[in-house]
Structure 1
Amino acid sequence: MKSHLFKILTPLFFSSVFFGCQEYQQKSEWIKLPSPISAQIRCFAESSDGIYYVGTSELYKSKDQGNTWELIDFQQMPLEVMETQDGSILVGTYRGGIFRSTDKGETWTNVGFANNVYIFKIIQISDGKIFASATFARNGSQKDTQTGVFISEDDGLNWKVTSITAENIKGVFNPKSELIFASGTGENNFHRSADNGLTWSTNVIGIPDSIPVSAMVDTKGVLFASFGDPQDAARTIGGGIYKSEDDGLTWTKSDDGISDTTKVSDIALIENTLFVSTGYPINIGDRGIFKSTDLGQTWKSTGLNDSQIRLIRTTSDQHLIAGSNVSSIFISNNKGKSWYQTGKEIENWSVFQVIENDNYLFASGESGIWRAKKPIREWKQIKKELGSLVKLPNGNILMAEDGVVLRSENNGDTWESISDLKTEMIFIYEIDANLIIACAQGDGVFYSTNNGKDWLKYNMGEYEKNRFRTAIKTSNGTILVGATGGTLRSTDLGKTWDKVDNDFYVWSFVETANAIYAGGFGQGVRRSIDDGLTWTEFNSGLRESDNYLTVTSLCSTSDNSLICGTLGEGIYKLKSNDSLWIEYKTGLTELVNFGIIEG
């Protein structure tokens, strides 16, 4: 590594991959780099006075029909936003509960559900009752934490649970007067009420099991429901569109023109035209916006088909708002015939990885691969697909894109396909000068000893179908791989594997002179002092025993300290030979996710 390095702090969301770090030898100043228009839009609402609200990892509003946006002081991650009949703004969050504002977002009050993981949907019916779905109880929460569908009759101040108490309810919908539906994953988890939520029944026919409803509309007495799981990170479930002509008692598939593997995330209506938003982060099934002008019999693409679109909504002036997974917001003023992008003020660029080569920085995220020449003034997109990057000792760059390994010899101007691993998303790592490892999502672990030109597959045995995230080769030659089922260890160059740490999904390994540290999903940091054979928790100062904490990155510094980046909980430092993590002061605020990477 170079001795004179500067540091970059990247604000990130949910799944993150970081490669290496080194601490500056002198006091340094943090400089925020410019970013392209690239944000993940999770929710949208229009208030009665024409203000648009959108949720990313933060909350924004627009007073000019989406042309410009301003940040709202809101300290949680929004998943749902809506305005009540009394003019209050309710926001459902990730791991924060529901918040209420009566002054257009100037101040906020938590009104419950702080122990629930997701608040995906909040709706209000004509008589003023408000319903919300609260999904899963947080790790370490009180044992009496309730889940399911809840109701409020006082503008969201107080809530009580209905008879639906399943932990995996993903949404609640009111497409038609007196009809309310609640939907989640698992069998018999589609609920129907014909009396505004007083009683519920699961006696419906034709609904697919295990795929939750994402949205519902009513047109000419026919109900349409879009299906797609907001948590389907494995990209294996798909979705579709169904319709009912008997108020939701029986349903039939109605999505001719959309592939069966497509996730349908939202549905909207303008006059007699139906619109749906579709797509996964990678190329599985269809993407973009589809419309139907024949009451759902056939569907045709109407734009944005190179993007995953998370939501589609209509405004009071009959404009269409499309919230994308990576490219912020698109607006159509002509019923989907054309779209324009907005949201340059929304700073939610989701960056997973940054590498430096020659005089360039390369950033990899859900919006693809971006390149900038130093000093950084603007970024140029050089690949539209999510990819994992590795810089080779000879100055070439490798990228893994949907299982295909590509090489660039000219800093990303052109890419050559050198190997097809015939799998889906993979993370690649330069383990040492002679070994590159590719961790696949449910399809094993691959390795290359010739700079990625040729690949072989480790025999993972019974662990083959795990989702693999990261890998390290210790100073003793032992290979460790982080997987959903626990840490796997090989002492014979990958010929055989043993599970050495159950149920801890490791996202990052680092080795020091005396130990190996592993940071990962939900449980903080663990340490091994016997070459990865046994592991103990190492969270003093970092995580209480029952608290949920995801560590996204670990790295060592020149003074043998460790730096720990977390999912939304800041950065911590462990001094050499110490056992207590302390907060690493950066002077930076309003960052959701952290990783220090070599630049």
Structure 2
Amino acid sequence: MLYLYQTFISAFFSGSLNLISFSKRSLGGGSNSLLTRILSLLFLTIVCVLCLNCQVVLAHRPHDVVTRVELSPTFSQDQTLYIIVRNNLFKSVNRGDSWARLTNGLDTHGELQSLAISNSDKKILFISARESGIYRTEDAGSSWIQSNSGLADLNVHLVVISPQSSTTVFAATATKGLYKTDDGVSWYQTIPDVKITAVAFSSDSQTVLASDELGNFYRSENLGDTWTKIATLQRVGSIRAIVLEPDFSDSQTAFVATEKDGVYLTQDGAYSFQPVNQGLSDRRIMDLLTVSDKDNYTVLASTWNDGYWKYNSDRRTWIQSSKGLSRDKMGDELKLPHFEDLEISDAFATDGIAFLGGFDGLFRTEDSGSDWIELETLSTATIIDLEISLDYKNDATLAVASYVGGLYISEDGGTTLTPINQNLFLQRFISSSSRDDEEAQDPRRFFDLAFSPSYSSDHSLFATILWSRFLRSTNNGRDWSIIQLPREVRGLTMAISPNFAVDKTIYISTQGGFVFRSTNSGRTFKEVSKVDSQINNNSPSLVLSPTFTVDKTLFATGGKGIYKSVDRGENWQLLTEGKIQAGSNIQLAISPNYPEDKALVVSTSNGLFLTHDDGRTWQEIVDPALGEEPFIEGVAISPDYVNDKTFLVSVRGRGLLRTVDQGQSFQPLGNQFLSLSKVHNIPSAGYAVQFSPNYAVDRTLFGFGSATSEIFKSTDGGNTWDIISVQRNETGQPNFIQSVKLSLALHYRKLVKGLLVATLAGGIAYLLLRSVRRRKISFLRDEG
């Protein structure tokens, strides 16, 4: 097809020039003839339209929701900060210019909710998660231990550390009130059965203030051991933050952020309040800070929609300063705040550095908020899938896909990775898209990647993106064709027939449960069936029997667990109930000896499961090494499973574990600080750990899971790992010739119609002009 387009454009250019030349000769008029001008103008107009049609600029990449930000108390020296982004904990030691993912010990099940760093010891942090309670680190996030002793409710939404002591900490729960620890380990209740939403310590006394979701205020004079309810702010919603002045014990001055009615000031220790909202157009306060400079103070706030505000204490008015901050319309659709956590450098008065997290990402200012820039957090170069050629023994080939826009291939076992996204121009995706939000987001969000089982002979490589499109290459990824599926669907997971060289069969399952099949190597797809939709944003998993041609068997995941088909995907039977059905993030691994052992290994958020009878019964695998109620993030089964009985599991917070006895026992494998699991909330079908097809001989494994653009390789069965950097590459704008060819490809039918009309019009004009010329010559002859 590409050759046809190239031929067409060549013919178009030469044909147009020949027509112009012919017109000159026929009319005898030279370069100033009217027809020449008409045809030249027509030609230039078409070319300009073609080129302009190819210039597409996106306003923004996929949004990265940053809900919490914490800066080191010595940020001006160590440049360290932590963020929670899409339920991932990231750390930066260079002011947010690059990030590391922190996972060791964080075996959480629910959403990360609160993050706090000690002012007295910057290596101590606390983090909380829904359903999993509180975790504590004493090594700046390298490792975490659970700290829930005494808590009656593990849904902890707020953790606050005393500025004087890293062991005095408060934790606010959803239903059981406020808890305190004096040693960082054991907790006891201090305010019962109230949902506390803000806590503030006095820096020069033992006074602590707290408030709840109903606007009530509580005061303690003994570091929170006992409390007195002292006041209520009516009709303001919950209290979002309390900020005490440094001399609170003398001035009794504090500022209060409310959910619905802006900022209030108290000058009597929270017994009475007065609003300070002059100039504040958005009164949905999300965070509040004060900056003291000698005798003056500055109040800073973040608001739901408008971002960053400063309070001028001399003029007693608020001034918005949000240049460079951005919003995403999806925030409004989901009714989520555009801006949340605001944090400032310990030297803010001199360096002007602050950070603001929000729905659209993380922003930084270096001039006290006059100008903001967005920082990349979840990198578009984050690896989301890695696949290995079945002929790896001979071709040493693997392919890698990134979060947005990047595809790479290596033919030397990962030593060098070459981009293979050269012709995946953005225009090819935008033009065929029916989704409105892709005007603001790059649609090239890769979801799955696969080699043809007969890659060594057919050189075919396949990929899918998040929405509705299948990509196909038959020349090792140098060129790609894009196939639109029959309906708009999300989350495309592929499975390819082991006998692909003969049956040309490819399956695609989706988050909505729709199953598609191609029997012509992916040129076209047909919808064949449907299973229950995935829950939330879970990615589907799909595997085929190694003897699919004979037994016609597939396994898929859906909203109720695991499904089986024995008629090539036409009909499905639900195999699971109980813990598997209630779980999420399900991944399937099928035994290479499935025809004999009928074995599948299944990883879920509710644990690890194994069947040896084709899914009729399931055994939950329990082992101390996996932990209690483990969240199994991924699974991979050895291609030599019939002999080595080996499979690997990635356990949230515990890393990679290996069994060599079909799950009877497990041992930790490799570096515990290495994240070999998919980055949370970046949907993809990728398996974060994969065996070389020649594993029995080469002992090679590959994996991914870093916050940066890199993959991991082991050649000793996973005991040690090498890090392979993937050089970031993005497909740029097409050049002039590429733009013309691309527009011809995208608008072929319209262009042909246009050229036919233009040719007809030109022919008519030519005949009319020729007739006029003949009459003119005849007239001159008659006059002569």
What TM-score comes out, normalization by structure 2 length? 0.49
8 A Cα contact 1:444 1:466, kept in partner: no
Distance in 2 of aligned mates of 1:165 and 1:412: 62
Could you tell me the percent identity over the aligned residues?
10
Which residue of the partner structure matches residue 133 of structure 1?
172
Q: Which residue among 149, 160, 178 is the counterpart of 1:123?
A: 160
Specify the code of the residue in structure 1 equivalent to 2:187. Answer: W
- One of 210, 217, 221 as aligned partner of 1:180: 210
Shift in CA distance, 377/275, structure 1 to aligned 2, threshold 3 Å: farther
- Describe the SS at the equivalent of 2:261: strand
Q: What is the distance in 1 between the residues matched to 2:495 and 2:288?
A: 43
CA contact (8 A) 1:266 1:277 kept: no
Q: Is the 8 A contact 2:676 2:689 kept in 1?
A: no
Match of 1:485, as an amino acid? Answer: K
Distance change (3 Å), C-alpha of 1:182 and 1:579: same
User: Quick one: structure 1 residues 391 and 277, their matched pair in 2 at CA, closer, same or farther if it must change by over 3 Å?
Assistant: farther
CA drift of 1:74 comes to: 8.2
- C-alpha offsets along residues 356-394 of structure 1, whole Å, 9 cap, x if unaligned? 5896742334x7746476534799999686431222535
5 Å-filtered alignment, 1:1-400, equals 43-47=69-73, 50=76, 51-55=78-82, 62=93, 80-84=115-119, 89-92=124-127, 97-99=134-136, 112-113=147-148, 121-124=158-161, 130-133=169-172, 149-152=178-181, 154=182, 156=184, 159-164=187-192, 172-174=198-200, 180-181=210-211, 192-195=216-219, 198=227, 205=235, 207=237, 224=257, 242-244=260-262, 271=298, 274-275=301-302, 290-291=307-308, 302-303=324-325, 311-316=341-346, 317=348, 318-322=352-356, 331-334=364-367, 335=369, 337-339=371-373, 341=375, 351-355=383-387, 361-365=399-403, 369=406, 371=408, 375-376=415-416, 386-391=445-450, 393=452, 395-400=460-465
* Count of residues paired in the alignment: 492
Match of 1:553 among 631, 635, 658: 635
Aligned partners of 1:354 and 1:362 also within 8 Å: yes
Instruction: Please point out which of 534, 544, 563 is paired with 1:473.
Output: 544
Unpaired runs of 5+ in structure 2?
1-63, 246-252, 266-272, 292-297, 312-316, 331-337, 390-394, 425-441, 453-458, 678-687, 693-701, 703-784
Distance 2:526 2:280 in 1: 40
Kindly name which structure, 1 or 2, has the bigger radius of gyration based on alpha carbons: 2
Q: Distance in 2 between matches of 1:265 and 1:304?
A: 16
1:409-558 maps to which residues of 2 (within 5 A)?
A: 409=473, 411=477, 416=482, 418-419=484-485, 421-424=487-490, 426-432=491-497, 433=500, 434-440=505-511, 443-449=512-518, 451=522, 453-456=524-527, 458-460=529-531, 463-464=532-533, 466-467=535-536, 469-474=540-545, 475=548, 476-492=551-567, 493-504=569-580, 505=583, 507-512=586-591, 513=593, 514-539=597-622, 543=626, 546-558=628-640
Displacement of 1:412: 8.1
Query: Partner letter of residue 456 of structure 1?
Result: E
* Secondary structure in structure 2 of the residue aligned to 1:422: coil
Q: Which moved more, 1:478-487 or 1:215-224?
A: 215-224
Counterpart of 2:748?
none
Distance change (3 Å), C-alpha of 1:155 and 1:385: farther
Q: Give the residue type in structure 1 aligned to 2:607.
A: G
Residues 483-531 of structure 1, C-alpha deviations (whole Å, 9 max, x = no match): 4533233445343543533331362212222033232234432222332
Decide which structure has greater strand share: 1
Residue 559 to residue 500, structure 1, CA distance change in 2 (3 Å): closer
Aligned letter for 2:70? F
Whole-Å Cα distance in 2 between the matches of residues 372 and 319 of structure 1? 41
Higher helix proportion:
2
Q: What SS class does the counterpart of residue 664 from structure 2 fall into?
A: coil
**Shift in CA distance, 267/363, structure 1 to aligned 2, threshold 3 Å:** farther
The CA distance in 1 between the partners of 2:376 and 2:484, in whole Å, is 37
TM-aligned CA distance change 1:296 to 1:84, over 3 Å: same
Opposite residue 219 of structure 2, the aligned amino acid is D
What secondary structure sits across from 2:577 in the alignment? strand
My pick for the range that moved more, 294-303 or 311-320, is 294-303
| One of 578, 596, 599 as aligned partner of 2:689 | 596
Cα offset for 1:52? 4.8
Residue of 576, 583, 588 corresponding to 2:667: 583
- The structure whose RCO (Cα within 8 Å, separation 6+) is larger is 1
Distance in 1 between residues matched to 2:105 and 2:201, nearest whole Å: 31
1:572 aligns with 2:572: no
**Partner residue in 1 for 2:468:** 404
CA distance in 1, matches of 2:571, 2:281: 48
Query: In 2, Cα distance between the equivalents of 1:571 and 1:74?
Result: 11
**Cα gap change, 1:490/1:354 in structure 2, threshold over 3 Å: closer, same or farther?**
same
Q: CA deviation at 1:395?
A: 2.4
Q: 1:572 to 1:246 in 2, by over 3 A?
A: closer
Could you tell me which runs of 5 or more consecutive residues in structure 1 were left unpaired when the two chains were aligned.
1-37, 136-145, 184-189, 226-240, 279-288
**Residue 249 to residue 99, structure 1, CA distance change in 2 (3 Å):** farther
CA contact (8 A) 1:565 1:593 kept: no
Q: Mean Cα displacement is larger for which, 372-381 or 490-499?
A: 372-381
Note closer, same or farther for the CA distance 1:549–1:215 as it changes in structure 2 (3 Å cut). same
Supply the AA of the counterpart residue of 2:658: K
TM-score (norm 1): 0.61
Letter in 2 for 1:590: F
Q: Which amino acid aligns with 1:510?
A: A
